[in-house]
Each structure stands twice: as structure tokens, then as C-alpha cells.
Structure 1
Amino acid sequence: MCTAAFSGTEGLMHLAGGAGMGAASAAVAGAPGSGASGAAGASGDFHLVVTDLMLPGMPGEEVVGAARAAGLPVVVLSARTAVADRVDLLRIGADDYLTKPFDLEELLARCEAVLRRSTSTARAASVPSPSAGAVAPPLRFGAWELDEAARRFAAAGIPVRLTRTEYEIVRALMAEPRRVHTKRSLSAAAAGDEVALEDKTVATHIGNIRAKLRPSGTEDYLETVWGVGFKLRDGV
């Protein structure tokens, strides 16, 4: 079920009433032909926000920030296609985005994929290890440490806040540090199903990760293998 909001302000009102009750179905702000809409569960909670950026009342970026604060995944719709715009969208917390014009079937598929990722992440965090009391050791690479149990990542001892997609990309790289990961394989690791991220989206996420690593001086751990994908630097 979809709950419509015709402005950014109205979208935030829905989030304040729904997400505050526990975050459960899909709120859509800025849907084609309206301004905002969303899918709500019977309880009135929301699972997902889809928002345009050009909204009456307030910009979509503020809706994204409110959704992320409520712990909800976000899909952004935008007519902006410049690399800088895509980088900004992902930095403010978008899990995925579609540029206009787009096919509604693809929008639905991407929403379903983001919801599956979100659900599987929550399930993994809540299910105890099969070995009673056993906790998997953190993944380490050079000055990086990724604690999968706590879903925390640090570089040179500095906590690094990653989006869900960025975290999955870093985890895939650290799990097989000597492998050259194609954009397709990193996309599959991030998406977890057949609705893959676009190659340019994967590259943008890598750029965002590098930017977040600069304070630790470890951004050069990420190497681009031109024409193939990405890997972690040898000799670390």
C-alpha cells in the first residue's frame, strides 16, 4: 500500500507519524505525477522512502536526511545526471537512485531490491550465531578493521560512517583482499540480487568511500583496475 505526500513538508509529517511507530512499508515522496507518495503498512509505519529532489515545501535532500535519521532506506528520483550530483545524492544517504525519465517497472524492482537488502541486514543483525556465544573475528586489512557483528568500520582507529551500500562494498573487498573485484561482482555484493546497481553507481560509491577515508590517510588502499573494477592495494 502506498501513502502519497504532495510536498516535502507533507512527506515529513507522514514520516514523523509512521517511522516514529517503528519503521515498517514504503513511503514515497516525489513520485511521478504527484509530488510525494508512499506505501504504508496496516500499522501506518513505513519501510522505504522514494523521493524526488525538486519538491514543494522543502527540498528532497531534507526528506532524505529525515528518512535516514528514522532508519529508513531511500531511493531518489532525479533529473540531475552530473557526476557531482550523483555523488552528493549518495553522500546524503541515498541507497539507490534513478535518473529521469525512467520505467516504472524498474523503479518497482529497485524498491523491492532495496527492501530485500534492508530486511536481510536487519535479520542478520538480529539472528545469533549458530555457535553459542561465538563471535566472528573482525575483518582486517592494513589499518582497516570491519566488525561484522556490530556492523562497524574503522580506518587507522577512526570510525568511518558508511551507508549500507558502502558497507557491503567494503565488506566484499576485505573478505577477498587479493581479488580484483569487477563492478558487476561489487554490485551483486551490494544489491544481493539480480537488480544490480549501474556500473557508474558502483564507481560513485567507491569515490564516496575514498573521500570518507581521507582523514585516516588510507584512501589509497582502494585501487582502480581500469576496464575491470577495483581491488585492495598489494603490500598493505
Structure 2
Amino acid sequence: MAEQLSELADDRALLGRTSTAERVSDILRSRIAEGFFPPGTRLSEDAIGGALGVSRNTLREAFRLLTHERLLVHELNRGVFVRVLTVEDVEDIYRTRTLVECAVVRGLGEPPYALDGLAAAVAEGELATARNDWKALGTSNIHFHRELVALAGSERTDELMRSVFAELRLAFHVVDDPRRLHEPYLARNRQILRALQDGDHVRAERLLETYLTDSLDRVVEVYLRRVGEDGAGS
């Protein structure tokens, strides 16, 4: 925890003169997504508030916002913890992803599409793979799907899926073999990108739906082995 708090203190400069609960929650959301605070970690108000230089009330409001996003959970007389997802949580995340992401691709209309963000995410994944950095590859996969959602041009959809993808990262932190989880999907990202470059959003949607089904099966397999049928701390 000491190392995490030291790095968290470096984020104090991001708050600037307009320190708000929203900006504190942005910082904590990013740190949770990066795995600095793994699932099940108890978050100390005093330690984190001191590291960021914010008041207890501001921090509590940030905790409340992240609890609403299902990233944190408050346990009576115990404190605030980073959530540990259940299998049911994971299934619901993927159900939401399938509904939204496939609808975005289905509704693209006539090409050409603005695919620079998707291409950049694929390139990011290729670089991570070359470095054998499998957690970075997982991050690039999230970036790919975030850019896919952005093709809808909807701020509301982007905001919704930002929370969904952040929650998904909680599941990834439980995985004991990130290479096995993430590596096969780089090629699938390329296939989806290629289909969209060809203007074939029907094929892209079909590839995406299969991708999400297979990814869900793999993550659930990990959860049943590592967390258990009912999960923990949720």
C-alpha cells in the first residue's frame, strides 16, 4: 500500500486549484483500472486523502461516485473496498457490451468510417505483444472497444461504456494468466478493423459478437476457478 500511496501522491498535481470530488474520482478510477488498488483492497480515507491533499468530505463524495459506478463497495463498520465481481457481474457486463457494441457497429451506415482510433489501438496492442507486456495488451484491447463505441458519436454512450469498461478491468485483475486471456483477441481486433476498412459492417458485427461470446466464456472460466461460483466481497 505504501508504494501505491506514494504514486498516488504524484497525482495531486492533476487536481490543480479546482479540486473536486469528480476529479478525485477520475484519479481513483484510473488507479483502480491500472490495478494499483486490486479487487478486495480496503481504501483508507486518511491515507488517500493525505496523499491527494483533499478533505475527508471530498474523498467521501468521490467514494460515493465510484460506488455508484460499481467500482467500490461500502461495508458497514468495515469501510470502503474495491469491488470483487461475481460471475453474475461478469455476465451482466458482457451482456451490456454485446447490446451496445454490436448496436454501434450495426448502426454505422455507409462507409467510410473514422477508424484512426481503432487502428491506433491495434498498433498499441502489437507493440505490447512485442514487449511481452500482457497487461498492456489488455489495456489496448479496452482502448479498441472504447474507440469502437466512439464510432456512434454519442457522449452518453461513451460515458455509459466508460463505467462498463472500468468495471471490466476489475475482472481482468483476477486473471492469473493475462497472456492467455488477451493475446488471441489482438488478431480478432485486426479482423474487425479490416472488415470496417472494407466497409462491411455486417461482417464486423458478426466477428464482434463471436469475440464477446468467446471472451465471456474465458473470463467466467477463470472466475469459477479463482473466485468461486458466488464471488466474494460484492
TM over 0.5: no
The structure showing larger relative contact order (alpha-carbon pairs under 8 Å, at least 6 residues apart) is 2
| TM-score of the superposed pair, with normalisation by structure 1 | 0.25
Higher strand content, 1 or 2: 1
Higher helix content, 1 or 2: 2
| TM-score of the superposed pair, with normalisation by structure 2 | 0.25
